[in-house]
Structure 1
Amino acid sequence: MDIAIVGRHTKVSEDMRQKIFERMEKVESLAPRATRAEINVVHERNPRLASDRERVEITLHDHGVIRAEAAADDRHVALERASARIVEQLRRQHERRAKRHNSKPSLHAVVAQDLAADGTDARSGSSEEERVESVESWEGAPHDATVEVPVDGTPITIRSKTHKASPITVAEAIDQMELVGHDFYLFLDADSGLASAVYRRRGWTYGVIRIEDETESAGRESA
């Protein structure tokens, strides 16, 4: 595994580099197929952040991308915390993989598979008969069935798939997003019961979008 160490607004001492290599040995033992680890050691110049002036960011390229960061007034402490978070994510990843053989695919996984399939399943030359069959298959389509809906007067068809998914928390959705290495993740929010999507923002922050029926929302507000 390649290890890249970068200092931002600071120099990384040999002692710190040695500590990083030691921590990455443990990480590599849990992720033997990881190809690269990027460690940023950041010194915050803002005096208001004195208690968190030393930050360590770790990005691990394994099956996907796994990230963790920690801040403290001592960079060695920040390294310990960040590496511990990476290790915890890897352990949870192993647990999920062990259970995956007996579980249904996630909503996001199904969507990703369909998007990948679109590149090899073009139907721009569909005949009128095929379009009619497509509409008929749309009506009454069962869950987990893939159907194609034509756009009238155009060669465009829309691939649609309904998938059953178990509700998960936002934190679990972020873990899954990092596991698959995507920039967003579709899920059913266990707290709100709404169809939602988490996404990666700039830096080390995330966002979440929830879709709510405006008629139901208006009904609650008027109650």
Structure 2
Amino acid sequence: MILPIFLTFSFLFSLSYANTIAFDFCVGDLNLPSGPSGFSCKDPTKVTADDFVYSGMRVASNTSNLFKFGIRRALSPQFPGLNGLGISIARADFDVGGFFPMHTHRTSEILMVTEGTLMAGFIDTNNKAYYKTLMKEDIMIIPPTLVHFMINVGSTPVLAYTIFTSANPGVQLLDTALFQNDLPAEVIEKVTLLDHAQVTKLKKIFNDTNISSLFG
């Protein structure tokens, strides 16, 4: 009788520590392919303090694009020390009138404004919009997977930082998803209720624009 009870408690105890980390860290080896769980670990004997420091946020991102907005990311591909830790950060710069159009991520996001005035918001699955004008040092939470946006509504540039609950949260812009793909215009017209002229115009805009400059 004692043995089954002991085994049961041992099993329950092991479950409580199921998420205990097996290693102190797993700096990503960018020379190897990545998978759903991230990069393979770099040889620990080759890890240095530099693997845990990222200086890319010192430089403003490129805002010379259609949206007058740019973002500089510190995700696991740019900052391998984040690999496996479930966190990342990005710097967002908005010129006057700049905006980050409707987009989604796979994970939650914390937005913090450090300079300027930024309107930010998201739309839930009941199509209710939650939005607010944020001032310096204000923080807003964006739930995972929900469509959200940001707009500089002030008279000066905006600097903001976003923290994600993933080392690689992904991003999908609705504009580019709809108009920078290889779907025939007729299909997009059908699913968006837009007319042919408008779809053709938007496909031209987004296929002729270097949207990758957003991530400079």
Please classify the TM superposition score into its range, dividing by the shorter chain length. Answer: under 0.3
What is the TM-score normalised by the length of structure 1? 0.23
Which has more radius of gyration? Answer: 1
Structure showing greater relative contact order (alpha-carbon pairs closer than 8 Å, 6 or more residues apart): 2
Q: Which has the higher helix share?
A: 1
